[in-house]
Amino acid sequence: MGSDGEVERTAQKENEKKKAAALAPIAKPLACKKLQKRAFKLVRRAAEHKCLKRGVKEVVKSIRRGNKGLCVIAGNISPIDVISHVPILCEEADIPYIYVSSKEDLASAGATKRPTCCVLVLTKPTKGEIQAEEQEKLEADYDEVVCGVSELASSIF
């Protein structure tokens, strides 16, 4: 028999296979593990500073109002029709977007218990101000993820 570590790894691999099977066919550009980790870190930091719009309705409203940022979309949404218009809106508004594998992981990074279809990470909070030091950290993470997204998008398209 294997050790507990081996059992956990096999369970984790099976879980990843299930997530990959549940991905929507339109989920491109899909973030690699490293970029997903960076994106979730950015979403977590943005949620702490109230620089995050959660859910399709809020994200669409924010994009139409002209707010700029990074759109992170979950790839395992069913039915696809719920989010199929979001990438088009992002492209029209020159907003970078990336798909991640799981709506549950996206929700936990965004500090909510409810699974979230998409989030829009803003560089500045909608209300109030944050400290200059925290603003610099947020913008550095944002630039890092946007750079990775643009590289991934250019390799796909």
Where residue 36 sits, what CATH number does that domain have? Answer: 3.30.1330.30
In tens digits, what is the pLDDT along the chain, a chain of 157 residues? 456 777 777 777 666 666 656 788 888 899 999 999 999 999 999 999 889 999 999 999 999 999 999 999 999 998 899 999 999 999 999 999 999 999 999 999 998 989 999 999 998 887 778 888 888 898 999 999 999 999 988 887 6
Instruction: Flag whether 53 is in a domain.
Output: yes
Instruction: Flag whether 63 is in a domain.
Output: yes
Instruction: Flag whether 8 is in a domain.
Output: no
Using only C-alpha atoms, what is the Rg of the chain? 16
Fill in the amino acid letter for 107.
A
**Bridge partners, 74 (sequence order):** 100
Instruction: Flag whether 46 is in a domain.
Output: yes
Instruction: Flag whether 97 is in a domain.
Output: yes
Instruction: Flag whether 125 is in a domain.
Output: yes
CB-side neighbour CA atoms (13 Å) of 85: 9
Domain count of the fold of the chain: 1
Instruction: Flag whether 101 is in a domain.
Output: yes
Instruction: Flag whether 133 is in a domain.
Output: yes
Q: Hey, is 21 helix, strand or coil? A: helix
**Bridge partners, 69 (sequence order):** 122
Q: Which domain holds residue 36?
A: 27-156
pTM comes to 0.86
Phi, psi of 50 (to 5 degrees): 60, 40
